[in-house]
Chains A and B, each alone.
Chain A
Amino acid sequence: MTRDATARVWLALTDAQATRLASSPADAAAIDARGLGAIVIGLDAVTGARGQVIDAHATLAHLSAHVERTALLAAAVPLLDHPYNIARRAGSLDLLASQRTGVVIGFDDATVPDGSDAWSGGGLGEAVPFSTASVADAIEVIHELWRAWPFSAVIADRERRIFVDLDKVRSIDHRGVYAVRGPLGAPASPDGLPVLGVYARDAEELVIALSSSAETILVTEDLYRRASDRRGGEVVVHLVLHGGDALRRAGRAIEDGARRLVVTLPDIAVPALADALAPIVALLDELLDEAGTGEEETA
């Protein structure tokens, strides 16, 4: 089993699991050793499976101290949360973490009070009403901001007392649903840009996700075919696996053509999660190997 092969399977934690794992370095290290493609936090709020009210990015930043290899992604919904803030938080974590990190943009946040704007403006500026269009524009703002200050601009020449080559740092002057000048307060990581993913739950969201600048599209099972027709290997199918029918459903998704899976195991508590994952990852890998065409995958 190669690392690239196992990277085809990702783990999406429930909020309760994420909270527990972020406070448990040993369990985090054990899951880090499972060779997963990525750990995703915060999908409960996006899919409506709400439990606790947690901040996915803050939880991920805390967890990043104990997970060194597996890519770390946090769900982020531009609902009472400005894309500039989403981009800068994710950019900062990506600079600090040794592995790839990033965001999965969602179209809804079940924890936010009903009727909230995407951005209230705080009475100081214009409000941005929440809509699929505001989410679509937020994705583009984040995409542009991450490219406005490349790491190569950091010179840190102590003799000449020049830290940054400002000629390489630019404003984005974005004018869409949002008006954003940029740049962020820190450069992109020397290792590259953060992961920009989108989670689509229905046909309308999928259309936006597919035409966006996102590099990774997470979808529910029923959307897989439509998504893969356009974006092939960039599509990751989300499976919430409960007890008995879990592996049968995973098998069906793979028969359907899915080559990357993000699984949620809501019934398993954190201390048992690393052990429970081992056979599941192995079996899914076997199924993926049988199905073939997993060779191009890297997370």
Chain B
Amino acid sequence: MTGTSPARGGGADRRLFIGANVANSGGTLPYAWTRSATAATDPHDPVLWRRIAETLERGVFHAFFLGDIPHPVGRPDTTLSKLEPTTLLARLAAQTSGLGFATTISSSLNEPFEIARKIHTLQRLSGGRFAVNIVTTAQREPYQNFGIDEVPARPERYARAVSFVEELIDHWARIDAGAGLPLHLLQAGGSPQGVALAAERADAVYGSASTRDYSAGLRSTLRSLATGFGRREDDILFVPGVNVTIGATQAEAEQLFDRYAGGFDSETATARLSDLLGVSLAGLSQTSRIPEELLVEALEGTADQTQSIAHRRSFITLIRELDEPLSDVIRRVDLNGSGHLTFVGTAERLAELIRTWFRTGAADGFIIRPQSVPHDLEAFVDTVVPLLQESGDFHREYGEGFFAV
């Protein structure tokens, strides 16, 4: 879009784009924050955040991504302090030199001028290492901090997001005044409105896809939509998120996952899967397979406004492919309900998964979501990154430009 992507291209020189989304300083598992006995996992510890940024830079990550919900979550056990992401990333940009940063801004709860001024300032200070992810906030509490009692309907929120991006681009041009600093847009989420906006404007989409086929379909749709806006297919990257727990052995990884998932409750997990599929699995034995007729019923059912039909289909594909008992299937439902792929295992298996998705055109890279911070990030950098570099799939040093792969 307004940015440049100098080193990007299809074909043989294609390389992975890898970013990290640090959900909070603990990780994506609810009790990961209890893993370290020291203050090092406190969410406001500047030393920990610097260590995370330096770890990512050591791993030649393209981007450090942070999400944002401007309100605390009201649970005493998992309510971790959430720093305002742009402030944190602005400081970390001064402590790094090659790592890119992607901050999240709610189009519902910010003004385009203010954001244009802010991101432009950070582009200048960081030497072009900032991107912005525009989201439409869907939770009620944040709106109440801005004088809005109820969550506005989805069409209104998306209309605001579209006008927000247009105004952002206009303000950017005026503020930039010919200086030539690019506005990099990243788009997270998979709603039709979001995908359309991304196809026209975004440099990359951070999506959620639990199977390779589903991911390939999303990527292909996005690339094709982009050409409809006069862009090249390679002008937009599709990078799904993956929750990762890495162990020296498969057994160790599973043990870590179970410990910080908060005591695995198969009843809750089964209910969550029932919601996702739109059929009740309550009567099934945990040791049996989900009957094919239930899967067919799920495929034919309709999703309510908060459910994604496409995501349900992708998950059913996965269930059929794996042919596992219910007890294994429910573990694959992401604990956060975010729909991201969840990986629990060794570095070799993770590298193979990433390589396979990448080489078969299912993804242009991944956003790594460490389930325990900093442990899983450090394990990824020390054990997975070298494997991807040795096979030539991932770069060894930073190139020119944020999205240069």
B143 surroundings in chain A (CB, below 8 A): 124-125
Least CB separation from B37: chain A residue: A158
B44 → chain A closest CB, angstroms: 4
B114 surroundings in chain A (CB, below 8 A): 55, 80-81, 85
A179 near B147 with CB under 8 A, answer yes
B83 surroundings in chain A (CB, below 8 A): 92, 95-96, 185-186
A163 near B113 with CB under 8 A, answer no
Q: Does B46 contact A (CB under 8 A)?
A: yes
A78 → chain B closest CB, angstroms: 11
A75 → chain B closest CB, angstroms: 13
A186 near B81 with CB under 8 A, answer yes
B125 near A96 with CB under 8 A, answer no
B94 near A185 with CB under 8 A, answer no
Q: Does A212 contact B (CB under 8 A)?
A: no
CA distance A180 to B144 in the complex (A): 6
Q: Does A193 contact B (CB under 8 A)?
A: no
B44 near A96 with CB under 8 A, answer yes
Q: Which of A63-94 contact B (CB under 8 A)?
A: 63-66, 80-82, 84-85, 88-89, 91-93
Count of CB-CB pairs between chains A and B under 8 Å: 190
A163 near B70 with CB under 8 A, answer no
Q: Does B193 contact A (CB under 8 A)?
A: no
Least CB separation from B80: chain A residue: A163
B399 → chain A closest CB, angstroms: 21
B76 near A166 with CB under 8 A, answer yes
A185 near B82 with CB under 8 A, answer yes
CA distance A93 to B90 in the complex (A): 10
B90 surroundings in chain A (CB, below 8 A): 58, 61-62
A123 near B84 with CB under 8 A, answer no
A187 surroundings in chain B (CB, below 8 A): 44, 81
B69 surroundings in chain A (CB, below 8 A): 185
A88 near B147 with CB under 8 A, answer no
B84 → chain A closest CB, angstroms: 4
CA distance A99 to B280 in the complex (A): 55
CA distance A63 to B159 in the complex (A): 36
Interface residues of chain A, those whose CB is within 8 Å of chain B, are 19, 22-23, 25, 53-55, 57-59, 61-66, 80-82, 84-85, 88-89, 91-93, 95-98, 111-113, 116, 119-126, 128, 149, 154, 156, 158, 161-166, 169, 178-187, 189
10 closest A-B pairs (Cβ-Cβ)? A65-B94, A61-B90, A125-B148, A186-B81, A181-B144, A179-B147, A185-B82, A55-B121, A158-B34, A95-B44
17 of the cross-chain contacts (CB-CB < 8 Å) are A19-B124, A22-B94, A61-B90, A65-B94, A89-B86, A93-B87, A96-B87, A119-B146, A121-B147, A122-B111, A124-B160, A125-B147, A125-B152, A149-B72, A161-B77, A164-B80, A166-B74
